[in-house]
Amino acid sequence: MVFCSLLNQSTDSGGGELSILRGENRENHTWISANEYLKKKLVPFNKHAKILIDMNDLEQYFRKNDKRLIDKWVHYFDIYDRHFSRFRGREITILEIGVYQGGSLQMWKEYFGAKAKIYGIDINPQCKMLEEENITIFTGSQSDRTFLRNLKQTLPKIDILIDDGGHTMQQQIVSFEELFSHVSDGGVYLCEDLHTSYWLKDGGGHKRAGTFIEYSKNFIDALNAHHSEQKRLQVSDFTSSVDSIHYYDSMLVIEKKKRGKPYTEKTGSPSFPDVQPHRSRISRAAYKLSRNGIKIINQVLRFFRIRSFIWK
């Protein structure tokens, strides 16, 4: 955990100096957690005080923000930085669904640098006035398939897509179905605020059909489709274009990367020979017969999606 220290010093205006000590003697200091400070303002603070907290650049921007309004769950910043940091300073295209007050678009502009082209979508036409250099905003609904298809004709391939829009099930699913294919190889598709899949007002509920959470669980099967023995799970464009899926509290991140059928290789020397149990001819025949019988039973159980039993 990161801690702040209220040092036994004072500034000219009487406020304490707030800082972090790394590897120093912690005696004679009053220690509080950084989060406790930020949330509860437990220590005196004024313009001469300094706070140094172990935050990534996105959260530091958020904390210091005096520009347009940003509304984010605090744990999102580490996730953003984990998946987005490799794009910094590069010529990339970013699309954020949900402009709100425009603050996050400014945050992305600062974080990714001058080479990034940033686009926003919002249903509110007032958002158009929030455009600035390297930030372009389109007016339309993320659940309007025609609008999204036309948008794809306008935009280059997207390197980072952030769905922070209306958060209803239809909006999230339609946006994914229309825009995921337009994310570039090596790009990232991020859908946030997935807690709405559990909220009644947004059409959610635990294991409820039609929620984005339930919809996205199929992605796990699609990612592993190369290993399927059944016709109902086949290799798809998703299988061939996705490298990894990451679930977090209220967030799903999909990282794209073209890939073929996975394979194994062996290196090194064996430590000992494989040991096969010795069986008589009759016992081998009985073993083979029993295995085949159990295999048929398990195939029937699998067809009806009934729990199986170990038969190796």
Tokens at 87, concatenated: 């794009």
Quote the CA–CA distance of 285 and 80 in Å, as a whole number.
58
Closest by CA to 22, choosing from 48, 51, 2, is 2
Q: How many CB atoms lie within 10 A of CB 168?
A: 19
Quote the CA–CA distance of 241 and 252 in Å, as a whole number.
16
Tokens at 240, concatenated: 């061939």
Q: Where is 64: in which H helix or E strand?
A: helix 57-64
Is position 167 annotated as part of the catalytic site? yes
User: Backbone dihedral region of 94: left (phi > 0), alpha (psi from -120 to 50 degrees) or beta?
Assistant: beta
Q: Which entry of 75, 83, 167, 182 is annotated as an active-site residue?
A: 167
Active site residues: 167
